Structure 1
Amino acid sequence: MIPVIFGCEGPQLTDNEKSFFREVDPIGFILFARNVVDKEQLYALTSEMRAVTGRDALPILIDQEGGRVQRMKAPHWRNYPPASVFGDLACSDEPSLAASALRLHCRLIADDLRRSGITVNCLPVLDVPQEGSSNVIGDRAFSDDPELVGMLGRIACDGLREGGVLPVLKHIPGHGRALVDSHLELPTVESDLAELSSHDFRPFEMLSDMPLAMTAHVRYTQLDDKAPCTLSRIVISRIIRMKMGFRGILLSDDLSMQALSGSLKERATGALSAGCDIALHCNGNMEEMQDIASAVPFAATSLEKQLAGLIYELHRLEPADRQEMEQRYNQMMQDAGILQTST
């Protein structure tokens, strides 16, 4: 098994993909809109992934945040609002309603994922946006108040876990100050450690006990003027591990994003050498996946067991009554003045 999470090309695995995944045995998979057609197809795809790897407790990831970022869409799944809706609600003298609605929001998302065979959701976004920063985060963030972001982030994690799905904190140690989109180029943040610690880092410190986090492809020049976080041993060891106290499993963000330079081999081995436990490659390009697989070391058995244990623990939870959850959620959103569409 290799410590890499791979994407795939389409709504089902090709024969070439099946052969490749059997041979290299990635630690998990990630899904995007190109992989999602409807409920029956999606469950068949995740079942194929389990069959290819021979593992039931398989990490299968997706970004199902709500708002702009939801890979599973209507009419087959509910349209969910972005995170900022709950931050705004919490600031409008309705903190109790915001907390209850957010918890149920994430509980419903988890139910969607679990019924589809998906075990991990790349949520919550704990980035704290700044005035003038790139809109790549925007309304995906709960708020520009770090303490509120941390509080709502924990509620989101609790809702996902109650629904049998693992959360992933992103983008540690903070993407909210970035002036450009890291999908397209490398963001550079000039702020000093004191400013970052009191603001950007705070939500991640508040949730440092969570089991999974994803790095930011951001270069913090006052911490490491050469490498972005994903490739920086300094940022990962001194900031994420020591200062923040995060002891969970650390994933890189997508290695194929343009914020990173060098070959895919260099990016993958660089991320793992810097301290990421797992490298993430999303686009499903077979040539790139082969290059990465040829370069990375095998994963430690302890990492596989740790992930499997986390997934098994949550899957022991009994599914809740979907209809009852929908009714409560609809009433809460109506009370909040937020129009929602369900299927």
Structure 2
Amino acid sequence: MTPHAPLIIDIAGLTLSKVDRERLQHPLVGGMILFARNWKDRAQLTALCRSIKKIRPDLLICVDHEGGRVQRFKTDGFTHLPPMRALGEMWMAEPKGQSKAGPLDATNAATACGYVLGAELRACGVDMSFTPVLDLDYGSSGVIGDRAFARDPRVVSLLAKSVMQGLLQSGMANCGKHFPGHGFVKADSHTDVPVDRRSLKAILADDAAPYRWLSTSMNSVMPAHVIYPKVDSRPAGFSEKWLGEILRGQMGFTGAIFSDDLSMAGARVLDGQQLSYTEAAVAALQAGCDMVLLCNQSVPDSEGGGKAVDELIDGLTEAHVKGVWEPREASEERRVSLLPRQGAVEWDELMVHPAYMHALDWIA
């Protein structure tokens, strides 16, 4: 085990290239994130995941696979999962006849979604999905939109906990995002630097409430690339106040913290200064993140054609040598804790597994 492997990177295609293998062998790389470009069919995905684990069994294979419009794999048998807003709408609906409606049906359906999501991914070798979204649905954020369960943090918390229960049943860890809340701001942190000017009291009472209520259920958290100037001038993912004092201190969260994608616009400006990827990674790790993601920089048509990934690996290595960044054993323990602890049910067996078939009935 390395002292700390904080980097989560990606690859360009359907198989591992020689360069991919070299990067994944680096002791600072702790995992990789998959995208739709890494998908052809189940056989290819399964072979890719096996080839990754053959390099290093401890590498964490992740994906953004929430349901609705954020679902990377949608063909060759993968269930089309509903957007999480559909579960919130089921919660609010009045029961009519045999239709699924009301809070109890909604929580059952949420558990079913979590189980199907996790079981299908695990059957192909994926370790974890960055889900569920805990942002509140204010109706103004295009990037969040129907990815959110509801406006009421109580409804969000109970539905999210049900999804987490389903993920747990499949043997998969969960990730609550985007702390302390991305739903209130209209700007998209992929392309802008959103600013939420509300007070800490207002945010804690509303948007951040699910993180306190779920602090004993969440395995990991991903902070928002959003600035809350009445709390800190830095975005939450670079703020020791948000991550250390509030999330870990006040809320008692003990799981892993991932940065959001460092290639996003909201991640590359800090204290008014444009950052390199290495500077952003070091800032996030020093603020309290255990792992940092760099996405969409390995593809041939990206800026630099993959050089950003190598520059980050080399830059963080240099930062360690110079004492600018120090690996943390506790962070590595949190990363490893996200790896599945039980074997997955293989696809063909899963298709006739009673729990899976019952879960599908709740999703339909």
Of 280, 287, 302, the residue aligned with 2:307 is 287
CA displacement 1:160-219 (0-9 Å, x = unmatched): 011011111111111111221111101000000111111101111111122211110000
Letter in 2 for 1:111: A
Give the equivalent residue in structure 1 for 2:259.
252
CA distance in 1, matches of 2:362, 2:345: 23
TM-score normalised over the length of structure 2: 0.85
What does residue 303 of structure 2 align with?
Answer: none
Paired residue secondary structure (2:59):
coil
1:265 matched to 2:294: no
Choose which of 15, 24, 32 in structure 1 pairs with 2:35: 32
Can you list the C-alpha shifts for 1:46-99, whole angstroms capped at 9, x where unaligned? 1111122x22x4311111111100001124412111001111101114211111
Give the whole-Å Cα distance in 2 for the aligned partners of 1:318 and 1:14: 29
Q: Following superposition of structure 1 onto structure 2, how do residues 45-84 of structure 1 map, counting pairs within 5 Å?
A: 45-52=48-55, 54-55=56-57, 57-84=58-85
Query: Aligned partners of 1:92, 1:157: CA distance in 2, in Å?
Result: 22
Residue 185 of structure 2 aligns to a residue in which SS?
coil
Task: Give RMSD over aligned pairs.
Answer: 1.9
Which residues of 2 match residues 148-163 of structure 1 at below 5 A?
A: 148-163=155-170
Q: Residues 316 and 215 of structure 1: is their aligned pair in 2 closer, same or farther, counting only changes over 3 Å? A: same
Contact 1:268–1:279 (8 Å) recurs in 2: yes
User: Partners in 2 of 1:321 and 1:16 — Cα distance?
Assistant: 34
Task: For residues 90-139 of structure 1, give each alpha carbon's deviation from its aligned partner in whole angstroms, at most 9, with x where no partner exists.
Answer: 111421111111111110111111111111111000001224x3211010
Matched residue, 2:249? 242
Partner of 1:276: 289
Secondary structure (helix, strand or coil) at the match of 2:230 reads: coil
Cα displacement (A) at 1:9: 1.0
Match of 1:336 in 2: none
Which stretches in structure 2 are left out of the alignment for 5+ residues? 95-101, 270-274, 299-305, 321-325
2:294 and 2:309 in contact (8 A); partners too: yes
Instruction: Give the match for residue 114 of structure 2.
Output: 106
SS in structure 2 at match of 1:5? strand
Q: TM-score, normalised by structure 1?
A: 0.90
Change (3 A) 1:240 1:19: same
Q: Residue 25 of structure 2: which of 22, 31, 44 is its match?
A: 22
- Alignment-mate amino acid for residue 278 of structure 1: M
**Residue 302 of structure 2 corresponds to which residue in structure 1?**
none
Whichever residue aligns with residue 88 of structure 1, its letter is E
Question: After the TM superposition, which parts of structure 1 deviate over 6 Å for at least 4 consecutive aligned residues?
Answer: 317-320
1:235/1:326 Cα in 2 relative to 1: closer, same or farther (>3 Å)?
A: closer
Unpaired runs of 5+ residues, structure 1, are: 334-339
Q: CA shift at 1:308, angstroms?
A: 3.0
Q: Which residue of 1 aligns with 2:148?
A: 141
When structure 1 is superposed on structure 2, of 14-23 and 184-193 the one drifting more is 14-23
Q: How does 1:226-237 map to 2 (within 5 A)?
A: 226-237=233-244
Match of 2:16, SS state, is: coil
2:6 paired residue number:
3
The 1:76/1:325 distance shift into structure 2, 3 A limit, reads same
Offset of 1:318 from its aligned partner? 6.5
Q: Does 1:221 align with 2:241?
A: no
User: 1:91 — aligned with what?
Assistant: 92
Paired position in structure 1 for 2:339: 311
Q: Distance in 1 between matches of 2:132 and 2:199?
A: 25
Structure 2 CA distance for partners of 1:326 and 1:20, relative to 1, 3 Å: closer
2:358 to 323, 328, 341: 328
Name the amino acid aligned to 2:22. Answer: S
Q: Secondary structure at the match of 1:166?
A: coil
Deviation at 1:24, TM superposition (A): 4.3
| Cα deviation, residue 321, structure 1 | 5.0
Matched, 1:200 2:207: yes
- How many Å apart are 1:42 and its aligned residue? 0.5
Q: 1:309 and 1:251, CA in 2 relative to 1: closer, same or farther beyond 3 A?
A: closer
1:95–1:32 distance in 2 versus 1, CA, 3 Å: same
Which residue number in structure 1 is paired with residue 44 of structure 2?
41
Relative distance call for 1:213 and 1:267 in structure 2 (3 A) is same
SS of aligned partner of 2:125: coil
CA distance in 1, matches of 2:212, 2:31: 26
Distance of aligned partners of 1:235 and 1:301 in 2 relative to their CA distance in 1, 3 Å threshold = closer
